Amino acid sequence: MNLNNPEVWFVTGSQYLYGEETLRQVADHSQKMVEQLNATAGFPAKIVFKTVVKSSEEVANVCSAANSEPRCVGVVTWMHTFSPAKMWISGLKILHKPLCHFHTQFNREIPWSEIDMDFMNLNQSAHGDREFGHIVSRMRRPVKVVVGYWQEKPVQKRIDTWMRVAIAWADAQGMKIARFGDNMNNVAVTDGDKVEAEYRLGYHVDYYPVGDLVSYVQRVSKSDVEALVEEYDKSYEVAPEARRGGKDRVSVEEAARIELGLRALLSENGIKAFTTNFDALHGLHQLPGLAAQRLMAEGYGFGAEGDWKTAALLRTMKVMARGLEGGTSFMEDYTYNFKGEDSAILQAHMLEVCPSIAEGRPRLEVHPLGIGGKADPARLVFGTAPGSGIAATLVDMGSRFRMIVNDVEVVRTEAALPKLPVAHAFWKPMPNLEVGAHAWILAGGTHHTSFSQALTREFMEDYAEIAGIEMLSIDSQTTIRNFKNELKLNEVYYMLSKGF
Ligand code: MN
């Protein structure tokens, strides 16, 4: 996952009114804040203090420079003093990097016995940032506002979240997504407008005939296959039949060959996410299950049955989650367990679930698949540890993209699943299955999701804000009555704003 040393630019607003000495202190304080944040906050991007802007020209210059610097993934603004906001109009008009308005101040508390008018004039974020907020709101500019003292961890965490999303947004611009085969015939929710997706979200979706993949797979050497299979032996709990000399060993070797071919094709073509289709495997020995699992674990996005939107979203969520505790995987709502308030959904896919969410060491097994008409595929089998997470999806509503996010609570299955050798999770959607699934269905959400135990709803809200797309949350506060109203209101909002 090469993310090119991302930077976030820190721009402090002021004006000429206060004189040289005050402006010097404003710059000095900004510098100190940035240095300390870089040293202690553990942010995923380096913050670079650019300048104290005092005029329309200076704002426009720094915004234009931010646009053209590839390492700059976003801009943080802060008004230490008062910065008349008309001077921000021309710059904000052209800025197309994500914007975070950090509403903080340099000093934590008021120095009661010493405070005088000079101090007040220097430390006036409380009203300077309101002036800035007005123009951002007036311009309908997407923004994340973070309020609080800059040295406090919860405040830094909100900036951290936004930075992760900004990095993922940058990563998604021009993101190449390869579809091996088309979307599964007749399926509606996994399809969508690829032109609009490139325009709105940056996704570049290309079709690759499965024959292209086959030719890469055929070029894989025997010794490379052997080396990779040895790596499998070391990494996983290998079923006896899948070990050297076992009857399933040949399927494991073929899975390794597919992984090596697929890996070569993806990396040579700069592809970050891909889809497969069990109906389009001509020339392949088996459905690429193990390969999809292992490539996901490395940060590739994946969607089954040609689901390119989920593949792209998974990649984006993996970039957001990089270095955080908890895994992120492609997932599918499979089977219900109705039990009153404990009702939950068994989540799985035929094969392709990312081992980053595995509890314990995955088992490598080979079993028949039942559909697709190919040889028995190798797969990693595991369960998922209890804990909170999110399930997210992106759907095309015809006139706009809609993000739907459901808070979920992973729980233990009631017993082992000896006859279901697939990776799985078992979760309760919030606020409960009845309302959670009801709202999801009203919203038109997919059966496929991107599931993460590393991310929270806030990440997806920040993403939707940057992308300018609709965002629907299904969480502990959701009621069907309010949710229905939200759907109706959003319909009107997007119609009136001509937003997509
Ligand atoms: Mn599926």
| CATH number of the domain encompassing residue 46 | 3.40.50.10940
Ligand 1 center from residue 94 Cα (angstroms): 41
- Whether residue 15 contacts residue 83, with contact meaning beta carbons closer than 8 Å, is answered with yes
Question: Position of tokens 């234009």?
Answer: 64
Ligand 1 center from residue 445 Cα (angstroms): 13
User: Amino acid identity of 449?
Assistant: T
Residues 130 and 61 in one domain: yes
Residues 96 and 29 in one domain: yes
Q: Which tokens sit at 180?
A: 């091996």
Ligand 1 center from residue 28 Cα (angstroms): 55
What is the DSSP code (8-state) at residue 341? B
Distance CA(227)–CA(249), nearest Å, equals 14
Ligand 1 center from residue 393 Cα (angstroms): 13
Ligand 1 center from residue 351 Cα (angstroms): 10
Distance CA(97)–CA(254), nearest Å, equals 44
Ligand 1 center from residue 330 Cα (angstroms): 9
Ligand 1 center from residue 402 Cα (angstroms): 20
Distance CA(278)–CA(48), nearest Å, equals 47
Q: Counting Cβ atoms within 10 Å, is residue 222 exposed (0-12), middle (13-18) or buried (19+)?
A: exposed
Residues 364 and 403 in one domain: yes
Q: Which tokens sit at 489?
A: 């209101």
Domain presence at residue 137: yes
Give the residue among 53, 128, 130, 124 at the shortest CA–CA distance from 95. Answer: 53
CB-based contacts of 351, cutoff 8 Å, min separation 6: 287, 289, 290, 292, 293, 369, 377, 379, 422, 423
- Whether residue 474 contacts residue 429, with contact meaning beta carbons closer than 8 Å, is answered with yes
Residues 187 and 291 in one domain: yes
Residues 108 and 183 in one domain: no
The range of the structural domain enclosing residue 98 comes to 7-172
Q: Which tokens sit at 195?
A: 């032109």
What is the DSSP code (8-state) at residue 190? T
Residues 157 and 182 in one domain: no
Residue 2: half-sphere exposure toward Cβ, Cα within 13 Å: 4
Domain presence at residue 2: no
Ligand 1 center from residue 400 Cα (angstroms): 23
Residues 154 and 241 in one domain: no
Ligand 1 center from residue 350 Cα (angstroms): 7
Ligand 1 center from residue 191 Cα (angstroms): 13
Ligand 1 center from residue 347 Cα (angstroms): 11
Ligand 1 center from residue 394 Cα (angstroms): 15
Ligand 1 center from residue 334 Cα (angstroms): 9
Give the 3-state secondary structure of residue 427: strand
Domain presence at residue 399: yes
What is the DSSP code (8-state) at residue 431? S
Residues 150 and 216 in one domain: no
Ligand 1 center from residue 184 Cα (angstroms): 9
Residues 68 and 190 in one domain: no
Ligand 1 center from residue 205 Cα (angstroms): 19
Distance CA(254)–CA(218), nearest Å, equals 11
Q: What's the distance, CA 1 to chain centroid? A: 13
Ligand 1 center from residue 82 Cα (angstroms): 54
Domain presence at residue 1: no
Ligand 1 center from residue 449 Cα (angstroms): 9
- Whether residue 291 contacts residue 274, with contact meaning beta carbons closer than 8 Å, is answered with no
- Whether residue 60 contacts residue 91, with contact meaning beta carbons closer than 8 Å, is answered with yes
Q: What's the distance, CA 66 to chain centroid? A: 22
List, in sequence order, every residue forming a beta bridge with 147; answer none if it has no partner: 103
Domain presence at residue 292: yes
391, 395, 400, 401: CA torsion to nearest 10: 40
Ligand 1 center from residue 71 Cα (angstroms): 36
Query: Strand (E) positions, 387-475?
Result: 387-396, 401-410, 424-429, 448-452, 470-474
Ligand 1 center from residue 136 Cα (angstroms): 41
| Beta-sheet pairing, 387-396 with 401-410 | antiparallel
What is the DSSP code (8-state) at residue 306? G
Distance CA(229)–CA(250), nearest Å, equals 10
Residues 289 and 300 in one domain: yes
- Domain end call among 172, 202, 220: 172
Ligand 1 center from residue 258 Cα (angstroms): 20
Distance CA(471)–CA(493), nearest Å, equals 12
Distance CA(72)–CA(75), nearest Å, equals 8
Domain presence at residue 26: yes
Residues in the chain: 500
- Whether residue 307 contacts residue 162, with contact meaning beta carbons closer than 8 Å, is answered with no
Ligand 1 center from residue 119 Cα (angstroms): 61
Q: Which tokens sit at 295?
A: 């490539």
Distance CA(491)–CA(472), nearest Å, equals 12
Ligand 1 center from residue 332 Cα (angstroms): 6
Ligand 1 center from residue 297 Cα (angstroms): 18
Distance CA(22)–CA(76), nearest Å, equals 21
Ligand 1 center from residue 88 Cα (angstroms): 47
Q: Of all residues in the chain, what percent are helix, strand and coil, respectively (each to 5)?
A: 40, 25, 35
Ligand 1 center from residue 302 Cα (angstroms): 11
Ligand 1 center from residue 331 Cα (angstroms): 8
Ligand 1 center from residue 303 Cα (angstroms): 8
pLDDT reported for residue 61: 98
Domain presence at residue 91: yes
Domain presence at residue 400: yes
- Domain end call among 108, 143, 172: 172
Structural domain total, the chain: 2
Ligand 1 center from residue 240 Cα (angstroms): 29
Neighbours of ion ligand 1 (CB under 5 A): 304-305, 332
Residues 267 and 351 in one domain: yes
Kindly report the backbone phi and psi dihedral angles of residue 151, in degrees, each rounded to the nearest multiple of 5, phi listed first: -90, -5
- Domain end call among 172, 201, 225: 172
From residue 157, alpha-carbon distances to 48, 105, 129, 456 in Å are 18, 17, 20, 12
Ligand 1 center from residue 296 Cα (angstroms): 16
Ligand 1 center from residue 328 Cα (angstroms): 17
Ligand 1 center from residue 164 Cα (angstroms): 28
User: Amino acid identity of 32?
Assistant: K
Q: For helices 308-321 and 153-172, what crossing angle results, to 10°? A: 140
Give me the tens of pLDDT residue by residue for the chain, a chain 500 residues long. Answer: 667 799 999 999 999 998 999 999 999 999 999 999 999 999 999 999 999 999 999 999 999 999 999 999 999 999 999 999 999 999 999 999 999 999 999 999 999 999 999 999 899 999 999 999 999 999 999 999 999 999 999 999 999 999 999 999 999 999 999 999 999 999 999 999 999 999 999 999 999 999 999 999 999 999 999 999 999 999 999 999 999 999 999 999 999 999 999 999 999 999 999 999 988 889 999 999 999 999 999 999 999 999 999 999 999 999 999 999 999 999 999 999 999 999 999 999 989 999 999 999 999 999 998 887 789 999 999 999 999 999 999 999 999 999 999 999 999 999 999 999 999 999 999 999 999 999 999 999 999 999 999 999 999 999 999 999 999 999 999 999 999 999 999 999 998 886 54
Of all helices (H) and strands (E), which one includes residue 230?
Answer: helix 222-235
Ligand 1 center from residue 181 Cα (angstroms): 14
Residues 62 and 88 in one domain: yes
Between vectors from CA 408 to CA 405 and to CA 413, what angle results, nearest 5°?
Answer: 145
